[in-house]
């Protein structure tokens, strides 16, 4: 999916100054005007993610991020991904449909799962021990290595198999009544695309079991629900779209598929895929023993499976891309400045409020900040302790930094607060400063966040 | 840590009926009276965990659970582990100390990390391809396999290395001011203990960077904090204890260590370990470049590292064991019955409330339940839709089941609710039934849970 231009952008990431300029120099040689604008957007986004601690600064890491793989996230990226996973979990397990969360193992000893691109966990000592045995003939050596491969556990590439295995105990739990679903999220492993380096992906999975005649209805139901979920947190919802998977791209036993994609500046990438899979895999997992799989009111039929699996690393990238707003504004000296704001949804924003101090007696103002910090933390409002910063910065610079971090509100404590209890609250989205009393700030923030959650 | 008696208990798990009896038959042959009681406790706990969907029913799986490894958790175990991890994350990242969450990769290509017991991800196709090459001599084959081992990524055994690598960008974030910490949780992989099967463990990690002269103070600080945290959720807090690690057991570069353990019926097992590690590993990770590591006010010294790492799968087991209460009570016919209650802390309990229907017009009562279910879910109160059960059970049986699941409250809707809006609420801990109005039940539960959280 990555054009050569985007790769050029990535290459410049190691030399922080003027990354945008460097990227543009590259791109002018390769791209048309409109794609140059897109490219500029890409380089701005990448640089911002690195500067503002969403993604760890390292070229290989930025490349993983770009490919939609799990990468080393900085403090802000880690929180964003946590928030996204939390929202996903809540939306899936608290829907009116019956969904149970489960946790399966990421490696399995089931040799039957052997297929091309299989990743196995090998204890390198064992393998070394085998090949260092001088007395073995070549044939013996080959046999021993084959046996080692065979008994080494394989790493999961998705959550489907684990859910199919857990179908039987779950069916007992619901007194053999369909439909119900099993949800899981976490790391899966993907074989390398020739690079020799397998990749990790943060995946979400809902495996839904229903009667054969309702499976198409449920595929549509979940496709609608999932698209609605993605759009709920978007600044421009139309960038998220769903489409039927063309017949020639259907995988395995699937009879129908729906893909939810995001339109990045460089093209569409899939975020979540839904398949109507029939019952073949479920039967195979349980070795064809139909009696174990039969449900109430189903006579002798075996449930059908609808799978919904998402890539939340790409989800993080989509929401970062979607929320980046670039505005031109004039400064005092009539110079044109570019203001970058990460307008992440209030529920997803990793930091809800930054605490800073203005002019005044530093020691006393800090004490007020400490008190507010505790209050916010107890109310589980993630807060950035800006007042601990030891480098002096202007309010303008501070606002620019917090806008790039996507911080919802900035609270400034000053001499005035000590006298009257009043403080300044600046909103990221309106840039308006309001005066509020220190006693009402926590409730104001809590209400704001929960209101945004319930829309 | 597992005695042979406990292994016998595990063996009986595949034959569900009368597991306690079977376990006792075994144990009478092997154990003294007091250890038999303990064993009885163990078998009761294991059977309850399997019956009530904390742990998936499968002997290998129960063995993983017993060993304190990650296993296949059922819906209730999955939620319990989620709640525990969520509480850990909140307590560590929202402490008054500066702690940032990070996310690193579970595999790394750093060959320097090579040591005994190293696990590597190998694409089995590649390895098969090498050994199937007929034209290679034995020496060439050995060389190619060695090269493959060398370039295969290795799986992490803990989070320390990842945090040490992220020290430099994090130091920039805090303007080179110490102390601060990096937190992470997730899966780590442990080499097999000869069984040939590596194990997964859900670990938590806090890596704390401070000045050399304060490192001992911080070790004590975090040991106190962590013990307090474990005890906060315990029914009998004294089962959680901390002790200094004897000098002869100190690992690597560590100068001091503290271990937090839980006293299981079969003996102590460590839950969390804290080490004062000095600066050797930090320096080594950054190839001895001291200038990158220097902090403000530190002159030319390099920060010291205190590591805090926990096993949350064993944590789940500890809280399950700690919360199981067995009471004898007489039924109506003067028969002695054993009542088992899982008195999990309100914050940890996977299901806070069960919704059931009593006598009355089923259709209408169900509608009331649906409404309450939605209300609870929106308030993020995990609820068990007992009214969907299709098998008739007595209230007695239902209460016994919910007590074993650790459900805090049972709400029963009946004809009376339709007339007057009044419903019955039964508490797990007091077994008392109260009458409440339907309009106040949600707030009652929310207040109860948050009050328990703030103690």
* pLDDT above 70: percentage of residues in chain A: 89
As for the ipTM of the complex, it is 0.91
Interface contact flag, B175 A389, Cβ < 8 Å: yes
Its pTM stands at: 0.91
User: Roughly what angle, to the nearest 10 degrees, separates helices A75-93 and A312-323?
Assistant: 110
Interface contact flag, B96 A151, Cβ < 8 Å: no
Residues 6+ apart with CB under 8 A from A452: A345, A346, A347
Task: Please name the member of B71, B75, B121 whose beta carbon is closest to the beta carbon of A155.
Answer: B121
B249 has a pLDDT exceeding 70: yes
State residue B19's pLDDT score: 38
**CA of A324, closest CA in chain B: separation in Å?**
21
Length of chain B equals: 455
Contacts with B454 from chain A: Cβ below 8 Å: 378
**CA of B245, closest CA in chain A: separation in Å?**
29
Task: Please name the member of A89, A373, A390 whose beta carbon is closest to the beta carbon of B177.
Answer: A390
CB of A285 closer than 8 Å to CB of A271: no
Mutation target to probe the B interface, by most B beta carbons within 10 A, among A113, A122, A165, A404 is A122
Please write the tens of the pLDDT for every residue from B68-118.
999 999 999 999 999 999 999 999 998 777 999 999 999 988 755 556 778
Q: How far apart are the first and last CA of chain B?
A: 34
Mutation target to probe the A interface, by most A beta carbons within 10 A, among B14, B76, B90, B105 is B105
Q: What top-level class would CATH report for the domain B75-106+157-320?
A: alpha beta
Q: What is the DSSP letter of B301?
A: P
Interface contact flag, B385 A131, Cβ < 8 Å: no
CB burial of residue A103 (10 Å; 0-12, 13-18, 19+): buried
State residue B2's pLDDT score: 40
Domain coordinates in residue numbering, chain A: 2-51, 75-106+157-320, 114-155, 351-454
Contacts with B187 from chain A: Cβ below 8 Å: 106, 186-187
Contacts with B155 from chain A: Cβ below 8 Å: 121
**Minimum Cα–Cα distance from A177: chain B residue:** B390
Please write the tens of the pLDDT for every residue from A361-372.
788 999 999 999
Please write the tens of the pLDDT for every residue from A148-161.
888 889 999 999 99
**Minimum Cα–Cα distance from A101: chain B residue:** B75
CB of B44 closer than 8 Å to CB of B404: no
CA distance B415 to B421: 9
Contacts with A401 from chain B: Cβ below 8 Å: none
CA distance B298 to B276: 18
CA distance A288 to A55: 46
Task: Please name the member of B103, B187, B296 whose beta carbon is closest to the beta carbon of A81.
Answer: B103
Please write the tens of the pLDDT for every residue from B149-193.
888 899 999 999 999 999 999 999 888 999 999 999 999 999 887
Q: Which of B87, B340, B293 is nearest to B176 (CA)?
A: B293
Task: Please name the member of B71, B145, B389 whose beta carbon is closest to the beta carbon of A127.
Answer: B145
Task: Please name the member of B70, B117, B142 whose beta carbon is closest to the beta carbon of A123.
Answer: B117
Contacts with A126 from chain B: Cβ below 8 Å: 196
Total H helices, total E strands in chain B:
17, 17
Contacts with B122 from chain A: Cβ below 8 Å: 119-122, 152
**Minimum Cα–Cα distance from B145: chain A residue:** A131
Q: What is the mean pLDDT of chain B?
A: 87
State residue A11's pLDDT score: 46
CATH fit for domain B351-454, picks 3.40.50.800, 3.30.1130.10, 3.30.1600.10, 3.40.50.300: 3.40.50.800
Interface contact flag, A114 B104, Cβ < 8 Å: no
Please write the tens of the pLDDT for every residue from A290-326.
999 999 888 889 999 999 999 999 999 999 999 999 9
Neighbours of B230 (CB within 10 A): 24
Contacts with A162 from chain B: Cβ below 8 Å: 72
User: How many A/B residue pairs have CB atoms within 8 Å?
Assistant: 214
**Minimum Cα–Cα distance from B186: chain A residue:** A186
Q: Residue A240 — very low, low, confident or very high, per pLDDT cuts 50/70/90?
A: very high
């Amino acid at each position: 999916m990555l054009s050569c231009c985007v790769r050029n952008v990535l290459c410049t990431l190691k030399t922080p100054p003027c990354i945008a300029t460097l990227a543009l120099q590259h791109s002018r040689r390769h791209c048309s005007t409109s794609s140059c604008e897109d490219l500029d957007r890409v380089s701005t986004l990448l640089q911002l993610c690195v500067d503002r601690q969403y993604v760890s600064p390292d070229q290989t890491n930025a490349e993983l991020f770009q490919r939609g793989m799990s990468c080393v996230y900085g403090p802000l990226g880690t929180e964003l991904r946590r928030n996204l996973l939390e929202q996903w979990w809540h939306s899936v397990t608290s829907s009116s449909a019956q969904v149970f969360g489960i946790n399966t193992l990421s490696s399995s000893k089931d040799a039957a799962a052997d297929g091309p691109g299989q990743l196995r966990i090998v204890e390198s000592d064992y393998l070394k021990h085998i090949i260092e045995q001088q007395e073995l003939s070549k044939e013996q050596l080959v046999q021993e290595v084959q046996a080692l491969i065979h008994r080494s556990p394989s790493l999961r590439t998705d959550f489907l198999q684990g859910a199919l295995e857990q179908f039987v105990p779950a069916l007992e739990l619901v007194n053999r009544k369909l439909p119900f679903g099993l949800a899981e999220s976490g790391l899966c492993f993907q074989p390398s695309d020739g690079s020799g380096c397998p990749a990790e992906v943060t995946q979400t999975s809902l495996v839904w079991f229903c009667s054969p005649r309702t499976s198409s209805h449920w595929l549509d139901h979940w496709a609608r629900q999932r698209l609605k979920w993605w759009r709920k947190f978007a600044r421009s919802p139309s960038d998220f779209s769903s489409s039927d998977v063309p017949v020639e791209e259907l995988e395995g036993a699937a009879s129908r598929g729906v893909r939810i994609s995001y339109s990045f500046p460089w093209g569409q990438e899939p975020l979540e895929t839904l398949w109507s899979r029939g019952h073949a895999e479920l039967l195979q997992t349980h070795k064809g023993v139909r009696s174990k799989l039969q449900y109430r009111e189903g006579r002798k039929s075996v449930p059908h499976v609808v799978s919904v699996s998402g890539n939340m690393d790409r989800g993080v990238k989509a929401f970062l891309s979607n929320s980046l707003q670039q505005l031109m504004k004039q400064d005092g000296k009539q110079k044109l400045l570019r203001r970058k704001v990460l307008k992440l949804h209030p529920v997803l924003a990793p930091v809800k409020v930054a605490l800073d101090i203005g002019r005044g007696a530093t020691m006393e103002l800090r004490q007020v900040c400490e008190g507010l910090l505790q209050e916010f933390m107890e109310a589980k409002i993630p807060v950035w302790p800006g007042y601990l910063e030891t480098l002096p910065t202007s309010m303008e610079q501070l606002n620019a930094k917090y806008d790039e971090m996507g911080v919802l509100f900035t609270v400034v404590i000053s001499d005035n607060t000590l006298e009257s209890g009043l403080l300044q609250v600046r909103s990221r989205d309106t840039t308006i400063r309001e005066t509020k009393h220190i006693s009402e700030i926590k409730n104001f923030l809590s209400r704001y966040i929960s209101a945004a959650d319930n829309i």
